[in-house]
């Protein structure tokens, strides 16, 4: 049976029960496991602020703002890239370096900021979004912000006064929360939180408690003073510099997956030689104190015991690299401030690119409420879009069943079910390049990689996957721009600036390696937007059914490649 026939043969059996009632707040299972009551009900929208919308060009980054995010020198003549620039076409300053597209793209900045998020809240509500997940907005020189320069403050270029904010940050004592002020970017973010809450929406922040950037004050002090630094035992240092050998540096440390610009915090009490997985251990006391203080700052900004002015939870980066002892302490601390705060972990590859972690050890009630559920998308993509590995109808049903096996229903309902994110190819591009999920999904690794938009067969497959996403157990997630049909391969190509109807975009004609390609017009796909909006409306109209209802397979026919399932309340 062809993939197209398979897609046409799909049957979704949905029993929309009458008289659906609201969940009881006293549901003993939900209460005992302390999963936030709201987490199953939301429609997530993930925002990568630097690439979402430039609402205030006056705060655009300068060379001084982004220097040192990489050891490579800043290109001469660097400038902010126009929002509608042909993605693979290099800027004059980039061409002058003599490096190819991928050798210069990390220097790009487009000027996205918090004002841009403010300006598009009406758009998000029109779509039906009810919860925002913001990629890191902590102050950092990179475009992705996982290289924190300050955990305490919002990035200086996301607010209205970068120069003043930089001075405020520089004057503070890292380990003394009483010295921490509020920058104008911080205040703008708190205004955004208030407006989001006024609209009945939720908002969570992304943080990495595994590593910082090299501009982080504790790291700078450690590098300068070595063993004499008060932060000497905070980081995973393998050897300090020997002053007796002035011409040689013996300084060695662990960076995240070997990246030197992302030095890792030291983990203690961890089994010898282990770095990943559901393992015991903790962070150093000073690091824990800092992390907890930053967490309290955003959960209850005015520290009055009422968390309604703070964020509604956190997405926690590279969670499988941080020991379980820390995460248990963290959950207890967070819930002590806001009992309804949501914690979602990034628990991903056990062995790349073949096996993802079983997240059950993180979802027992003492660590997270959910994980980013890439494990749902893999079999959905395989069966409904004919991607590798091929699945029969019964194999598809078994794969979806296995995703929830060993995980309590409150956690399954809270899962963040996603088709794409800042770390994967865009939804459409993962369909038109049907090889193994995320493996060799860039033109760098595959010379035949399709860098253009999806055609009609791919769009049909995408619609089926979306129907499955919005009717399955777990909270649907949208990566910014997918709702208007954007395309792009794996990092960095999935991080193109979001396409807006009121802005003009160059046609995409350039190829990163100079190969011939067709000219592709860049504009919002309004038909795709309507599909998302209609599916969100369907889910919201029968929310209790889709959020709380049971799931049962009605049919799995391998000969015809047909499946049917029911949702029953």
Q: CA geometry: angle at 152 spanning 332 and 422, to 5°?
A: 80
The 10 Å CB-count burial string (b at 16+, else e) for 261-291 is bbbbbbbeebeeeeeeebbebbbbebbbebb
Neighbours of 149 (CB within 10 A): 26
Contact in structure between 92 and 77 (CB atoms under 8 Å): yes
**Kind plus residue range of the DSSP H or E element containing 563:** strand 562-568
Q: Which of 142, 139, 209 is nearest to 180 (CA)?
A: 139
The dihedrals phi and psi of 209, each to the nearest 5 degrees, come to -95, 20
For residue 9, the model assigns a pLDDT of 39
For residue 27, the model assigns a pLDDT of 42
Alpha carbons within 13 angstroms on the beta-carbon side of residue 567 total 22
Neighbours of 556 (CB within 10 A): 17
> Strands 267-268 and 282-283, how do they pair?
antiparallel
β-bridge partners, 237:
253
Rounded to whole angstroms, the Cα distance separating 453 from 199 reads: 34
Q: CA geometry: angle at 511 spanning 456 and 61, to 5°?
A: 105
Q: Which of 80, 82, 83, 87 is nearest to 510 (CA)?
A: 87
- The pTM of this model reads 0.95
The dihedrals phi and psi of 557, each to the nearest 5 degrees, come to -110, 105
Encode the chain (569 residues) as per-residue pLDDT tens digits.
Answer: 444 444 433 444 443 333 333 343 334 333 335 899 999 999 999 999 999 999 999 999 999 999 989 988 999 999 999 999 999 999 999 999 999 999 999 999 999 999 999 999 999 999 999 999 999 999 999 999 999 999 999 999 999 999 999 999 999 999 999 999 999 999 999 999 999 999 999 999 999 999 999 999 999 999 999 999 999 999 999 999 999 999 999 999 999 999 999 999 999 999 888 999 999 999 999 999 999 999 999 999 999 999 999 999 999 999 999 999 999 999 999 999 999 999 999 999 999 999 999 999 999 999 999 999 999 999 999 999 999 999 999 999 999 999 999 999 999 999 999 999 999 999 999 999 999 999 999 999 999 999 999 999 999 999 999 999 999 999 999 999 999 999 999 999 999 999 999 999 999 999 999 999 999 999 999 999 999 999 999 999 999 999 999 999 999 999 999 999 999 99
For residue 33, the model assigns a pLDDT of 54
Q: Which of 164, 160, 186, 154 is nearest to 49 (CA)?
A: 154
Quick one: how far is CA 401 from the chain centroid?
25
């Amino acid at each position: 049976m062809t993939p197209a026939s398979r897609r046409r043969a799909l049957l979704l059996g949905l029993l929309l029960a009458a008289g659906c009632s609201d969940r009881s707040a006293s549901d003993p299972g939900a209460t005992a496991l302390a999963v936030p009551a709201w987490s199953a009900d939301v429609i997530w929208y993930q925002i990568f602020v630097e690439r979402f919308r430039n609402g205030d060009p006056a705060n655009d980054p300068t060379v001084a703002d982004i220097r040192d995010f990489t050891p490579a020198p800043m290109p001469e003549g660097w400038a902010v890239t126009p929002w509608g620039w042909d993605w693979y076409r290099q800027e004059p300053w980039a061409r002058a370096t003599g490096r190819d597209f991928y050798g210069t793209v990390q220097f790009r900045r487009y000027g996205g900021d918090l004002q841009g998020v403010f300006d598009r809240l009406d758009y998000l509500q029109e779509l039906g979004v009810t919860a925002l997940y913001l990629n890191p907005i902590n102050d950092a020189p990179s475009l992705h912000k996982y290289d924190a320069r300050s955990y305490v403050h919002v990035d200086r270029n996301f607010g209205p006064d970068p120069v003043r904010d930089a001075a405020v940050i520089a004057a503070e004592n890292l380990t003394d929360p009483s010295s921490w002020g509020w920058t104008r970017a911080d205040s703008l973010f708190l205004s955004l939180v208030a407006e989001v809450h006024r609209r009945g929406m939720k908002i969570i922040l992304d943080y990495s408690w595994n590593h910082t950037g090299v501009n982080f004050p504790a790291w700078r002090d450690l590098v300068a003073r070595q063993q004499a630094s008060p932060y000497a035992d905070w980081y995973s240092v393998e050897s300090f510099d020997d002053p007796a050998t002035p011409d040689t540096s013996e300084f060695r440390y662990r960076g995240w997956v070997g990246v030197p610009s992302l030095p890792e915090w030291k983990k203690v009490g961890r089994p010898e030689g282990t770095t990943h997985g559901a393992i015991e251990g903790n962070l150093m006391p000073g690091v824990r104190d800092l992390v907890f203080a930053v967490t309290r700052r955003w959960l209850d900004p005015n520290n009055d015991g009422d968390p309604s002015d703070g964020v509604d939870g956190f997405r926690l980066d590279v969670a499988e690299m941080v020991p379980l002892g820390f995460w248990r302490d963290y959950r207890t601390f967070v819930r002590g401030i806001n009992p309804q705060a949501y914690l979602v972990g990034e628990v991903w590859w056990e062995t790349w690119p073949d096996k993802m972690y079983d997240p059950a050890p993180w979802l027992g009630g003492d660590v997270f409420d959910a994980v980013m559920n890439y494990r749902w998308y893999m079999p959905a993509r395989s069966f409904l879009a004919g991607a590798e590995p091929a699945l029969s109808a019964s194999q598809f049903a078994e794969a979806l069943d296995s995703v929830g096996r060993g995980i309590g229903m409150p956690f399954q309902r809270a899962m963040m079910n996603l088709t794409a994110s800042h770390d994967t190819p865009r939804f459409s591009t993962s369909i038109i390049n049907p090889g193994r999920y995320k493996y060799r999904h860039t033109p760098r690794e595959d010379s035949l990689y399709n860098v253009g938009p999806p055609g009609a067969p791919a769009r049909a497959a995408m619609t089926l996957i979306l129907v499955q996403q919005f009717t399955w157990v777990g909270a649907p997630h949208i990566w910014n721009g997918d709702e208007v049909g954007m395309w792009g391969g794996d990092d960095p190509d999935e991080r193109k600036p979001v396409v807006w109807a009121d802005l003009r975009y160059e046609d995409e004609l350039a190829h990163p390696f100079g190969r011939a390609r067709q000219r592709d017009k860049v504009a919002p796909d309004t038909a795709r937007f309507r599909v998302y909006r209609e599916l969100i409306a369907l889910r919201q109209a029968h929310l209790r059914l889709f959020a709380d209802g049971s799931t049962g397979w009605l049919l799995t026919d391998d000969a015809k490649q047909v499946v049917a399932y029911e949702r029953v309340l």
